[in-house]
Amino acid sequence: MKKTAFLFPGQGSQSVGMGLDFYQEFDFARQLFDMAEEITKINLSRLCFKGPMEDLTMTVNLQPAVTAVNLICLVAIEKEGRGADISAGHSLGEYSALSASGVISKEDTLRLVFKRGELMHRESTKQEGAMHAIIGLAIDKVQGLVDEVQGDGVVAVANHNTEHQIVITGAPEQVEKVSSLAVLQEARAVPLKVSGAWHSELIKGAVDEFGDFLDTVSFNTPKRAIIHNVTADFGKNSDEIKSIMARQLCSPVRWYDSMQRLIEEKVEVFAEVGPGRVLTGLLKKILPENYSCSIYNINSLKNMEKFLKET
């Protein structure tokens, strides 16, 4: 079998209708939604299938909703006897990767992301935040602009997505200042539709409480490899991974470095497992031109069948 990596999406990959074909086809999909709804007391299936998008996108709803669909896509492929050698997930998606790697149960995955969403929403109501994508500058240049503005208020790098796509986060005025400086260097700055300054010090009020909640969950040594956002490296044991996940809330998502690590590992098949195509879109911008691999989206029954047939 070719070396395979599963990539799990996070916020920004949602769409109304996600997961519906799996829900209609498989008992396990209905059971997983039932479990998610019992944990959250939210009608997630209705939100996923009928929306409205405005309600689906609220972080307290979105985090368990996207995760439920990620896990359903994962279980569907696992039931066909297929798994990954390595998993990674983008921010919220890292929790689905933990499940794929055998670190936490599916029930605990949903419990964690629901708590995470509640705490992040709470912190975002205390302090206004913003996030912009800076397109056209390398990480060192963006970090330099962030450092230049940092003394005036909170601003930081949130996501290093590709070589020249970096998301900044923080107080709206400081994010605007960095964006203006980036535009002067001929970059583009794109405001993101988010309700808080994720991966910044503005949500650090959630860290201790989330850390305490992490301690209520059993973490196992990975059965299959996982690469973490915080380190862009493999987690080796349960205590180390729990510590990394406690830091993840306010730390940058090192996605570009994580994908470079998968390239170093000579991964031959990449599959985005969950709604949307955000991560495969980023991956195509990261892969060297001469890198030989296959890329799939497992976000529908039709696309899953394509993956099974071709791999």
Closest CA to 5 of 201, 212, 237, 270: 270
Q: Pull the structure tokens for residue 231.
A: 């380190």
Return d(Cα 21, Cα 44) in angstroms, integer.
15
Task: Say which amino acid occupies 223.
Answer: K
Asked if residue 158 lies in contact with residue 142, where contact means CB atoms within 8 angstroms, the answer is no
Return d(Cα 8, Cα 275) in angstroms, integer.
9
- Where does 171-256 show beta strands of DSSP type E? 188-191, 225-226
Q: Is position 91 annotated as part of the catalytic site?
A: yes
Q: Is position 199 annotated as part of the catalytic site?
A: yes
Which among 13, 87, 91, 96 is annotated as catalytic?
Answer: 91
Return d(Cα 60, Cα 75) in angstroms, integer.
24
Angle, alpha carbons 307-29-104 (nearest 5°): 85
Which among 45, 199, 200, 258 is annotated as catalytic?
Answer: 199
Task: Say which amino acid occupies 36.
Answer: A
Catalytic positions are 91, 199
